[in-house]
Amino acid sequence: MASQALLEPQPSNQSQQAPPNITSCEGAPEAWDLLYQLLPGFVITVCFFGLLGNLLVLSFFLLPWQRWRQRRKRLTVAEIYLANLAASDLVFVLGLPFWAENIGNRFNWPFGSGLCQVISGVIKANLFISIFLVVAISQDRYRLLVYPMTSWGYRRRRRAHTTCLLIWVAGGLLSIPTFLLRSVRVVPDLNISACILLFPHEAWHFARMVELNILGFLLPLAAILYFNSHILASLRGQKEASRTRCGGPKGSKTTGLILTLVASFLVCWTPYHVFAFLDFLVQMRVIQDCSWKELTDLGLQLANFFAFVNSCLNPLIYVFAGRLFKTRVLGTL
């Protein structure tokens, strides 16, 4: 589920943590005007479909009126993780209308200092929660498919609930700096009041880079690739064994689902973290060229949008495309 935008909500590559066009490098006003006009509508669209998809997922997993719940009152381990992922993405997309309004107002934050802190912190927390849940889902599938004979102990519901609780707590702890350091400040040059991230010392830029790029992306990505590469290797072995018996591979659908989730994670999150790292280099004055500063500011906004889209794709990839959820839906219908 970020930099100075509303993933942490508004970009800022300037040393004062001000909005993007407070700089002597105003080289692309037309591009910013286009972004102000178009991006809010796209963000609201993502919010709508994210709300629809994740609410539908939670309704089938949690509401007691579902027929398939009459026989089995407890969620399975897989359903526990998927329900938490849907809840995390739901909370995440609830903050998007504020971000859309912020962009449409050219970073003039109209909601007050309290909501500046709360919305920024909640979005930041659920960014980490969503990514950590993806890792947990990959690890759960790894235990089930690679070690099916020993996976029962690892897949107990209590363990899954505990893991999800720890993930939510970790997301909350990692968002504390955003809660504390976000505030609304007047920007006289633009005659706006912007919701900005104010670091008390330059060392915070390095700490934020470690938190965001390493803890929030590279380490989870390494874990996801590790688990899913072993899953694919296991499925290839099962495929060879099933050909002689059934005339075709049994694990092809699962393989496709795994490749889809990894590709979605990479496509949605890699651009954002690349530009977030460039933003760190600008903050540290490693990059001082005006064209690169402008590219980083614009790129962060567009990359934020791709990261937001992931909250819409998660219900499709993890639930709707999976046989587990389709079976539940068909049974209810």
325 C-beta neighbours (distance < 10 Å), count: 20
What is the value of pTM for the model shown? 0.83
C-alpha of 202 from chain center: 26
Complete DSSP assignment for 207-227 = HHHIIIIIIIIIHHHHHHHHH
245 C-beta neighbours (distance < 10 Å), count: 8
What tokens does 120 get?
């920024």
Buried b (16+ CB within 10 A) or exposed e, 52-71: ebbebbbebbeeeeeeebee
Residue of 167, 149, 145 lying closest to 227 (CA atoms): 145
Buried b (16+ CB within 10 A) or exposed e, 268-284: bbebbbbbbbbbbbbbe
Cα–Cα distances (Å) from 217 to 93, 274, 276, 297, in that order, read 20, 10, 11, 20
Looking at 3.40.50.720, 1.10.1200.10, 1.20.1070.10, 3.10.20.30, the CATH number of the domain 29-332 comes to 1.20.1070.10
CA-based end-to-end distance of the chain: 32
Q: Please tell me the predicted confidence (pLDDT) of residue 166.
A: 97
Question: What SS3 class is residue 152?
Answer: coil
C-alpha of 276 from chain center: 14
227 with 138: CB under 8 angstroms? Answer: yes
Q: Please tell me the predicted confidence (pLDDT) of residue 248.
A: 47
What is the rounded distance in angstroms from the CA atom of residue 161 to the CA atom of residue 223? 20
Q: Please tell me the predicted confidence (pLDDT) of residue 242.
A: 63
Question: What SS3 class is residue 24?
Answer: coil
Q: Which residues pair with 6 in a beta bridge?
A: 8, 9
What tokens does 165 get?
């609780």
**What is the residue-level pLDDT of the chain in tens, covering all 333 positions?**
433 455 554 444 333 334 443 444 555 778 888 888 888 999 999 999 999 888 988 887 776 545 444 455 677 888 888 889 889 999 989 989 998 898 888 888 988 888 999 998 998 898 899 899 989 988 888 888 888 776 666 667 888 999 999 999 999 999 999 889 888 888 887 788 888 888 887 788 888 888 988 999 999 999 999 998 888 888 777 766 666 555 544 455 656 667 777 888 888 889 999 998 998 888 888 888 888 888 888 888 888 888 888 888 877 776 666 666 666 666 666
Tokens 């920024």 locate to: 120
Q: Which residues pair with 9 in a beta bridge?
A: 6
Q: Please tell me the predicted confidence (pLDDT) of residue 222.
A: 93
Q: Spell out where the chain has E strands.
A: 182-187, 192-197
